[in-house]
Amino acid sequence: MAPVENDTIRKDILRIATAGSVDDGKSTLIGRLLYDSKAVFEDQYEAVERASAGGDYVNLALLTDGLRAEREQGITIDVAYRYFATPRRTFIMADTPGHVQYTRNMVTGASTADLAIVLVDARKGMLEQSRRHAFLASLLRVPHLVVAVNKMDLVDWSEQTYEAIRDEFTSFAAKLNVPDLTVIPISALHGDNVVTRSSASPWYDGPSLLHHLEHVHVASDRNLVDTRFPVQFVIRPQSDAYHDYRGYAGTVASGVLRPGDEVQVLPSGLTTTIAAIDGPRGPVDEAFAPMSVTVRLTDDLDVSRGDLICRPANAPRVSQDIDAMVSWMADTELRPGQRLAVKHTTRSVRAVVKELQYRLDVNTLHRDREATGLGLNDIGRVRLRTTQPLFVDDYARNRVTGRFILIDEATNSTVGAGMLSTGS
C-alpha cells in the first residue's frame, strides 16, 4: 500500500437526505455546510458573490442552484447530489426539493440515506410538510432523523420556541418508528450551531449539526445476521489459465459470507458450500454488505442471475404474493388489474396489481380504503402477484431484499418504488 494518510483512507461515508422548501433556508444551510467544510472552491464562491451583489450577505443558497431551467423559474426540480468531507467522515448529500414532485424526490433521496435532515422554520413551527418529510423518511426506514429548527435568530433564540417544536416533533416521531431523533436549533444564515456550538444558545447543550453528522453511529444500522447474496452475473473466463473457473458475482445484501459456509441456492433449494470468495484484490476471508465480490461454490450447480444464495437455516420468504407500500411516481394512475415489470435485487419479473388496500394521506396518515387508484406522488398499500417467485424479507428487517421498483413496460419508465411488509 502506498503511504497515504491513514485517516483519509479509513474514513467512512455518511449518506444524508435533506428535505425542506427554499423558504425554510435549506439551500442556505447546505451552502453553509459546503462553505464551512471548504467543499466550495474559490471560482464557485466568486460566481455566487457576483450573483448576490447588492445584498447584505453572500447568498450561499446560490451554491446549490443547478440547472438553467431552475434558475430561470426560481425552483429546484430534481434531486442534486453534493459532496463534502471533514477529517472524520465523507458526506454524500441528496438535496431534495420541497415543492415540485416532493414525494418522488424525497423518496428517491431518502432511499439510500443513513440520515435525513428535515428543516423547520422556527417562526412557523411544525407544518404539514414537516410531518410529510418525517413520515417519508420513516417509510424509507432512514435510521437517523435530524430536525434542524432554522432561523432561530428571527425568534431571538427563544428557548421556549425551540422546546415547543422539539416536543411536538418528538411525540409525532414516536408514532412513526423513528429510532433516532435529534432536534438542533440553528441559524443557517449566520452559521450558528451549524459547524460549531453557538454562544447565542447557552441553554442548548446538544451537538452542532456538523458534529452530530460526524459522530452519529451508523455501523449498527446494517443487518449482519441474515445472509443474502443475490447473484448478479456469472463469471466464466473460458481461458486456459482459468479453465474451470465459475464464479457468481454480486453485491452482498446482508449478513456475512465465509469460505466453508454451508449455503442454499434459491430457487432450486440445493445446498452446497462456499469454496472461495474473490474480492477486488483477490481472495477474502469474509464478505459483508456492501462488498462486491465473486463467490465460488464447491458443487457445480446451475446458478444464474436472479438466483439468491443464503444459509439453509435462514432463508428469505419465497413468494409470488407481494404486499408492499408503494410510492407511485407516474402521471397515469396505478390501478388494480394493471400489469407492470418488477425489479427486485437482480431479479426481474412481471406482476399484476391484485388489490389496492388503501391510499395513505401522507399529511394525516389517514388510510383511504375507498381509493380506486394511486396518482402521481401518492403512497398506498398494494398487493401484487408476480409471474415468478421473489426471495423477499420485510423492508423493516432488510432494506435490500425488502425493496423493489416498478417499471412501465410500454414506456420503460420507473413508475414506482415498493417496500415490502407483511403487517397491515
Residues 169-208 that bind other proteins (CB under 8 A): none
> Which one of 24-32, 180-188, 202-210, 233-241 is the stretch in contact with other proteins (CB under 8 A)?
233-241
Q: At its nearest, how many Å lie between other proteins and the CB of residue 317? A: 19
Count of residues near other proteins by CB under 8 A: 78
Q: Does 26 bind other proteins (CB under 8 A)?
A: no
Q: Name every residue whose Cβ is closer than 8 Å to that of residue 53 and which is 6 or more positions away in sequence.
A: none
For other proteins, the binding residue among 53, 74, 160, 219 (CB under 8 A) is 219
Q: Does 405 bind other proteins (CB under 8 A)?
A: yes
> Which triple of cell numbers denotes residue 21?
422548501
Phi-psi region of 7 (alpha: psi -120 to 50; beta: other; left: phi over 0): alpha
Q: Does 281 bind other proteins (CB under 8 A)?
A: yes
Given a contact cutoff of 8 angstroms between Cβ atoms, the answer to whether 264 and 310 are in contact is: yes
For other proteins, the binding residue among 238, 244, 300, 302 (CB under 8 A) is 238
> Which triple of cell numbers denotes residue 240?
486456459
Identify which of residues 77 and 154 has a Cβ nearer to other proteins in the complex. Answer: 77
Phi-psi region of 179 (alpha: psi -120 to 50; beta: other; left: phi over 0): alpha
Given a contact cutoff of 8 angstroms between Cβ atoms, the answer to whether 155 and 36 are in contact is: no
Q: Does 53 bind other proteins (CB under 8 A)?
A: no
- Within residues 54-113, the interface with other proteins by CB under 8 A covers 65-69, 77-83, 85, 90, 92, 104, 107-108, 111-112
> Which triple of cell numbers denotes residue 190?
449566520
Q: At its nearest, how many Å lie between other proteins and the CB of residue 160? A: 39
Given a contact cutoff of 8 angstroms between Cβ atoms, the answer to whether 297 and 307 are in contact is: no
Identify which of residues 99 and 175 has a Cβ nearer to other proteins in the complex. Answer: 99
Q: Does 283 bind other proteins (CB under 8 A)?
A: no
Q: Does 358 bind other proteins (CB under 8 A)?
A: no
Q: How far apart are CA 4 and CA 228, in angstroms?
A: 34
Given a contact cutoff of 8 angstroms between Cβ atoms, the answer to whether 362 and 136 are in contact is: yes
Q: At its nearest, how many Å lie between other proteins and the CB of residue 127? A: 25
Identify which of residues 118 and 330 has a Cβ nearer to other proteins in the complex. Answer: 330
CA-to-CA dists, residue 257 to 132, 219, 265, 328, 342, angstroms? 38, 18, 13, 35, 27
Q: Does 243 bind other proteins (CB under 8 A)?
A: no
Q: Does 251 bind other proteins (CB under 8 A)?
A: yes
Given a contact cutoff of 8 angstroms between Cβ atoms, the answer to whether 330 and 373 are in contact is: no
Q: Name every residue whose Cβ is closer than 8 Å to that of residue 368 and which is 6 or more positions away in sequence.
A: 358, 359, 360, 361
> Which one of 128-136, 145-153, 196-204, 246-254 is the stretch in contact with other proteins (CB under 8 A)?
246-254
- Within residues 311-350, the interface with other proteins by CB under 8 A covers 329, 341, 343-344, 346
Q: Does 275 bind other proteins (CB under 8 A)?
A: no
Q: At its nearest, how many Å lie between other proteins and the CB of residue 12? A: 6
Given a contact cutoff of 8 angstroms between Cβ atoms, the answer to whether 25 and 150 are in contact is: yes
> Which one of 24-32, 197-205, 241-249, 316-324 is the stretch in contact with other proteins (CB under 8 A)?
241-249
For other proteins, the binding residue among 217, 240, 241, 337 (CB under 8 A) is 241
Q: Does 239 bind other proteins (CB under 8 A)?
A: yes
Q: Which residues of 75-102 are buried (b: 16+ CB within 10 A; e: fewer)?
A: ebebbbebebebeebebbbbbbbbeebb
